[in-house]
Amino acid sequence: MTTFDYIVVGAGSAGCVLANRLSADPSARVLLLEAGGSDRKLNVRVPSAFAKQFRTELDWYYQSEPEPSLIGRSIYLPRGRALGGSSSMNSMIYIRGHRSDYDGWVDRGATGWGYAEVLPYFKRSEDNQRIRDDYHGHGGPLCVSDPSWTSELADRFIASGEALGNTRNDDFNGVEQDGIGVMQRTAKGGRRWSAADAFLHPVRKKRENLTVVTGAHARRITFEGTRAVGVEYDREGKLHSARCEREVILSAGAYNSPQLLMLSGIGAADHLRSVGISPIVDSPHVGQHLMDHPLASTTYTCTEAVTLGDATHPKYLVQYLVGRGRGKLGSSIAETVAHVRLQHGVPAPDFQILSGPAYYSDHGFRTFPGHAFSTGPVFNRPTSEGEVRLRSADPHEAPAIRNNWLSDPAEMRAMIEGVRLAREFAESGPLSEVAGRNIDPGPGVRTDAQIEAWLRAEAQHSYHPSCTCRMGNLDEGVLDERLRVRGVDGLRVADCSAMPRIISGNTNAPAIMIGERAADFVLGRELPKTETVSETGVEPALT
């Protein structure tokens, strides 16, 4: 038994932030538990190699239950299992979401989480290498930069989008999210800059009060009455216990945080009893409301050798290593995006049309022998909700995950329009000049019924699970507005599972922001609200 002031479970995007901010006080003893191991791997460092981590020791390698709305398919659900968590596995896209997402959280019971309140926390983390304005931070731990390499297809995609009426946007995190352009990413010198790189590695060996334990698989939170007082975990075949004097914070992600709450007796009482767990708190929303962004990969052959089709050639590895991140291996594959509104009356873009100079299908497991590119529609405003449930009381057994994507007919109608628009990008304007044969869904798939059938057989997701321990009003949320688990003391959840509703964008930047806010909540402080935000910009607050 060892004793700490704070125990953080999960060294992912939010957990690394918490470990850093809480251990900044030299008198505070902080334990960070991570089930995975080292992130010092070439496939972690190299941006274009992120999919090489899938189904390896760096991956939790989850599979969904058979999905009725997707013809019974079991969907592969990768999550990072190493220091940095999924920030060590993602495509590094830095997009925060739309301002209306956060203002909408307030309407759902997350008081104090409006855009004006969260913007200072995004800025505190950030060290933007290009943009200098009121929306961005400079000098923070998280390096945000433009890509070190983009293909010439990026310019063609943007020009095709502009021909279709999209406006050029060089900052999707500024005044406006709508528009088309190249995405910034969490990279430094052409290599990945994960949450571990930003927040953990710089302090891990310098702070004696910070203990990082890898290979530590959390079993359950321990309680005295209804107060969280520690964590039990397995490591190298042995059971360990760590005691906590102040707070336990779960940052294990949208699958593992609800799993750990349920293993500890917090969840729907009937479900817990069905797997042999005695309830401590009957909290029926634990594991419910799972959301993610459905994605479809529309792919084309490319008539010019300007893609990543030959990026595995040794010369590009030499170029990358000698040139410090230059060349094709510095690509994060998804290079450009158009944020568009296809449905009427939506307050934010409901689709991302991603484009990259590679054949990307079935998470990269399906390959194409030649040059190809992808234009993938991502539905940013889904309505379907899934769930995470326990299979048993065994903490080493993967949870039962159901997504229910495209179970809402309105979602399917939107996705069909998204596929049509992605094809329009590729088949008109400058991009069409190098677009050859349509590989996916194929030239014969054109009617609504055909596209729907293809989507049910092939649709995937954009790796953004959220909302399974959501903040909300007393009878609607697992957490209160300060991320505290309702019904117990000394326990919080800080990761994307806390989102009241999924945002209209990528989730790594918001996860880091949530970690920043959680640290301040724990320490009893908060960044002052010194700014008001209008639709046209950031202005000084009135006092």
* Cβ–Cβ under 8 Å, residues 166 and 338: yes
**Single-letter code of the amino acid located at 76:** Y
Residues belonging to the active site: 464
pLDDT computed for residue 531 by the predictor: 57
Q: Decide: helix, strand or coil at residue 304.
A: coil
What does the buried/exposed string (b/e) look like for 209-246 if buried means 16 or more CB atoms within 10 Å of the residue's CB? bbbbbbebebbbbbbeeeebbbbbbbeeeeebebebeb
pLDDT band at 542 (very low <50, low <70, confident <90, very high): very low
pLDDT of 217-243, one tens digit each? Answer: 999 999 999 999 999 999 999 999 999
Q: Decide: helix, strand or coil at residue 501.
A: coil
**Single-letter code of the amino acid located at 195:** A
* Cβ–Cβ under 8 Å, residues 499 and 467: yes
Omega within 30 of 0 (cis) for the link into 441: yes
**CA angle in degrees (0–180, nearest 5) for 253-379-355:** 95
Mean pLDDT across the stretch 345-351? 95
pLDDT computed for residue 528 by the predictor: 76
* Cβ–Cβ under 8 Å, residues 428 and 262: no
pLDDT computed for residue 297 by the predictor: 97
pLDDT of 357-384, one tens digit each? Answer: 999 999 999 999 999 999 999 999 999 9
Task: Catalogue the E-assigned strands of 478-529.
Answer: 491-493
The number of helix segments (H) and strand segments (E) in the chain equals 14, 28
pLDDT of 23-34, one tens digit each? Answer: 999 999 999 999
Handedness of CA 392, 394, 400, 401 (dihedral sign): positive
Residue written as token pair 């399906």: 366
Quote the crossing angle between the two packed helices 508-523 and 13-23, to the nearest 10°.
30
Question: Any idea of the CA torsion for 189, 308, 366, 80, to the nearest 10 degrees?
Answer: 0
Q: What backbone torsions phi and psi does residue 136 show, to the nearest 5 degrees? A: -130, 150
For residue 142, list its beta bridge partners. 126
> d(Cα 293, Cα 285) in Å, to the nearest integer?
20
CA distances from 49 to 43, 127, 145, 327, 372 (A): 5, 24, 18, 13, 17
Tokens standing for 75? 């969907």
pLDDT above 80: residue 185: yes
pLDDT above 90: residue 69: yes
Concatenated DSSP letters of 110-139? -TT-SHHHHHHHHHHHEEESS--STT--SS
pLDDT band at 481 (very low <50, low <70, confident <90, very high): very high
pLDDT computed for residue 535 by the predictor: 57
Percentage of the chain beyond pLDDT 70 is: 97
* Boundaries of every domain in the chain: 148-182+294-381+406-458
**Which stretch of DSSP H or E encloses residue 401?**
strand 400-402
> d(Cα 245, Cα 213) in Å, to the nearest integer?
18
Mean pLDDT of the chain: 96
> d(Cα 77, Cα 75) in Å, to the nearest integer?
6
Q: Decide: helix, strand or coil at residue 296.
A: coil
> d(Cα 20, Cα 210) in Å, to the nearest integer?
8
In sequence order, the 6+-apart residues with CB closer than 8 A to the CB of 14 are 195, 251, 494, 495, 511, 512, 514, 515, 518
Mean pLDDT across the stretch 502-530? 94
Q: Decide: helix, strand or coil at residue 82.
A: strand
pLDDT of 298-340, one tens digit each? Answer: 999 999 999 999 998 999 999 998 887 889 999 999 999 999 9
pLDDT of 421-432, one tens digit each? Answer: 999 999 999 999
Tokens standing for 507? 């989730």
Q: Decide: helix, strand or coil at residue 160.
A: helix
pLDDT computed for residue 541 by the predictor: 38
Among the four given CATH numbers 3.40.50.150, 3.90.1170.40, 1.10.287.70, 3.30.410.40, the one describing domain 148-182+294-381+406-458: 3.30.410.40
pLDDT of 154-177, one tens digit each? Answer: 999 999 999 999 999 999 999 999
pLDDT computed for residue 247 by the predictor: 98
**Which stretch of DSSP H or E encloses residue 414?**
helix 409-427
> d(Cα 415, Cα 377) in Å, to the nearest integer?
8
